[in-house]
Amino acid sequence: MDLESSNSSLLLPRLILYYQTTHNPDGTPISVLPLLTKPGIRVTHLIVAAIHINEDPDALTLNDHSPSDPRYVTTWAELRIAQASGIRVMGMLGGAAKGSYARLDRDQATFERYYAPLHELIRERGLDGLDLDVEEHMSIAGIIRLIDRLRANFGSGFLITLAPVATALVDERRNLSGFDYQALEVAKGDQIAWYNAQFYNGWGDASNPVLYEMCVACGWKPEKIVVGLVTTPENGFGYVHFGLLRHNVQLLQRQFPTFGGVMGWEYFNGEPGGRERPWEWAREMTTIVGPSHADTGVQAAAPRPVENPSTIEADHEEEGGGQPPPLPGDFAYYSDGSDRESSGIRKHP
């Protein structure tokens, strides 16, 4: 049984940040230490992204470089400090750059060759878990094999999460992964800590609570569904302003006392501080989700009062007046160090 799923150490709601852009275009590191040192911030998990399994089994990369590249010395050191401060640090495997899961979904001998460097990275860096962001076709047998191996190798305290698009939790046809998440939950739900569901880029809408409510109506436990958000309009379609977000998150917390939490894609440029003060998104979200509590049947702390309804309405109008979001096009891969403004490439987990 997964530790986060089996005892009172599970703190809800979670506040999770993805950390893919680890460096500025000039090569200087983007520090996560303000998440520890600035007041009023309660981040529970950091997910460093994105780990890629390449054609050469020994050429594992974190974005565009080897995880042992000197550019990551500061990154890994700060993540160890985060762990020492009580934040669980995970890795993210896969994402929009395809190939990692196709290579793990082959015969057993091929699986072993490609899995071995991933195992070594997790062990060497002392990661607390692995987030499986499957945005390419993979068989359900293949994802089960990977989950089983991670659990066997790293024990019950190791966190295994998945990052489906939110629509995949209610309709297997609106899916990027190839397998049915409801079937996976039936088969291996006791080994999966939670799902970082992407409520953005046309695969979900965080500007209202309906899709989350549909997930629960379909049988998903609220504590296993984390609402995934873009932290700024720069990071994808579907950004929700804080006023409306406060209203919706706190509505869900009242409906579901074991609400799973929120995650943000991603850290380095989150609103309202942007690149200069990226930690401010986490501070705003801390005021929205409130203090954490152990999942022992205790009711969540009373949420803060909802902001002025007129403010909420204005926020909603800015997001398109509730119109259905367009279906997304193909996602282009963006890695840290690239110049987003000049390339025009949109990043996606």
Domain positions in the chain:
3-343
pLDDT for 96 equals: 83
pLDDT for 10 equals: 66
**Nearest-CA neighbor of 49 among 90, 100, 12, 15?**
90
CA distances from 8 to 151, 245, 296, 297, 321 (A): 20, 28, 6, 10, 41
pLDDT for 299 equals: 34
pLDDT for 41 equals: 97
| Residue owning tokens 């965080």 | 206
> For the chain, what percent of residues have pLDDT higher than 70?
81
> Which regions in the chain score pLDDT beneath 70?
1-10, 293-349
CATH superfamily of 3-343: Glycosidases (3.20.20.80)
pLDDT for 291 equals: 82
pLDDT for 250 equals: 94
Burial (Cβ within 10 Å: 0-12, 13-18, ≥19) of residue 68: middle
pLDDT for 210 equals: 96
- CB-CB contact of 151 with 185 (8 Å): no
The Cα 46–Cα 30 span in angstroms is 14
